[in-house]
């Protein structure tokens, strides 16, 4: 077995591990509100999220192509294998750190920051594809703002439409609706997040000469979909507690508004082939709904801690990836 093949297999394995961790790290985003309101039992919620994540991941590949080509040109990247390996190691490390402390940080920010950091360490700032990279950054920054705004508007409409309804009956009805919105949110999560690992594997295949286009091979799509579904099945209970209860007290009508908003924003990004952070989108939609419901009901200290983590994730993961690349390059050279 030659060295290039061994390195490629190692990168594929790391990408699958990243996708698996992404699954249990981000499970909370899709099902936290439905578990919090008791619309679904935790075990049932995780099974639903796993199935819908898999289905979503098998549906689209546009975001994967964006990851493959828009941050850096894989055809022009020297030491590409070390760059990709360093990026994956850094993203996995940051995901595990934030999961351990129960902080809903972004796997997307971690991965994209890590790719950029490793590329800069390997070839300098000029190697970045600034046009594509800027578009990705804009999507990551704007999507939470859109989610917050839409969540605020959707719940404001709900308040007007259902203001004269019996609260208990309304909550019971919305608890049933929430099963559907949780499923849609899990599906949308699969359509966007699983594609990031697909893009990384495709990049590695190009760099090592195993394919000459940015098309995602079926085995890559299936492997990433399965890894995310299995990761989702493992659950992410620490983050579920944060998203499902520490931002605000969630009732079924709040949950439906937040879930529908999150799914809509993520679907929109997927159709535009843009990677977004499901963590940011869903947490922001909950914040928007909570602000519309009652500003004082939002636990702003938790929100502040989450926002700080969001801000620092990309530069820290870039720094870690750069250091990992230099370490790998030193021993490889």
Q: What is the pLDDT of residue 283?
A: 82
Per-residue HEC secondary structure of 50-97 comes to HHHHHHHHCCCCHHHHHHHHCCECHHHCCCHHHHHHHHHHHHHHHHHH
pTM of the model: 0.89
- Band of the pLDDT at 27, cuts 50, 70, 90? low
For residue 210 the two structure tokens come to 């195993």
pLDDT tens digits for 132-188? 999 999 999 899 999 999 999 999 999 898 888 877 788 888 888 989 998 998 899
Whether 244 has a pLDDT exceeding 50, the answer reads no
Q: What is the pLDDT of residue 101?
A: 77
Q: What is the pLDDT of residue 245?
A: 47
Of the two residues 162 and 117, the one the predictor is more confident about is 117
- Look at residues 61, 13, 73 and name the one whose alpha carbon lies nearest to residue 201: 13
**Residues whose CB is less than 8 angstroms from the CB of residue 261 and which lie 6 or more positions away in sequence, other chains included:** 147, 150, 151, 154, 285, 288, 289
> Taking residues 56-63, what's their average pLDDT?
93
């Amino acid at each position: 077995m030659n060295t290039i093949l061994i390195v490629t297999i190692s990168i594929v394995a790391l990408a699958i591990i990243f996708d698996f961790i992404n699954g249990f790290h981000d499970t909370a985003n899709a099902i936290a509100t439905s578990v919090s309101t008791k619309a679904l039992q935790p075990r049932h919620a995780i099974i639903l999220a796993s199935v819908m994540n898999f289905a979503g991941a098998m549906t689209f590949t546009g975001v994967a192509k964006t990851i493959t080509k828009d941050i850096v040109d894989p055809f022009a990247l020297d030491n590409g294998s070390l760059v990709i390996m360093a990026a994956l190691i850094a993203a996995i490390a940051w995901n595990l750190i934030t999961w351990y402390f129960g902080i809903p940080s972004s796997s997307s920010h971690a991965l994209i920051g890590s790719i950029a950091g490793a590329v800069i360490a390997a070839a300098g700032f000029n190697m970045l594809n600034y046009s594509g990279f800027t578009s990705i950054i804009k999507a990551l920054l704007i999507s939470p703002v859109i989610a917050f705004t839409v969540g605020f508007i959707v719940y404001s409409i709900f308040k007007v439409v259902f203001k004269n309804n019996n609260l208990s009956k309304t909550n019971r009805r919305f608890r049933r609706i929430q099963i559907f919105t949780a499923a849609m949110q899990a599906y949308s999560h699969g359509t966007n997040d699983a594609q990031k690992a697909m893009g990384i594997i495709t990049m590695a295949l190009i760099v090592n000469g195993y394919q000459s286009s940015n098309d995602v091979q079926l085995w890559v799509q299936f492997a990433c979909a399965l890894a995310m579904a299995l990761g989702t099945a493992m659950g992410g209970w620490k983050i579920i507690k944060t998203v499902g209860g520490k931002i605000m007290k969630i009732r079924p009508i709040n949950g439906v508004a937040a879930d529908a908003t999150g799914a809509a924003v993520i679907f929109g990004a997927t159709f535009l082939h843009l990677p977004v952070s499901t963590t940011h989108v869903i947490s922001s939609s909950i914040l928007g709904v909570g602000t519309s419901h009652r500003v004082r009901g939002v636990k702003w200290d938790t929100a502040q801690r989450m926002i700080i983590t969001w801000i620092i994730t990309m530069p820290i993961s870039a720094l870690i990836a750069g250091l990992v690349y230099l370490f790998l390059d030193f021993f490889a050279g």
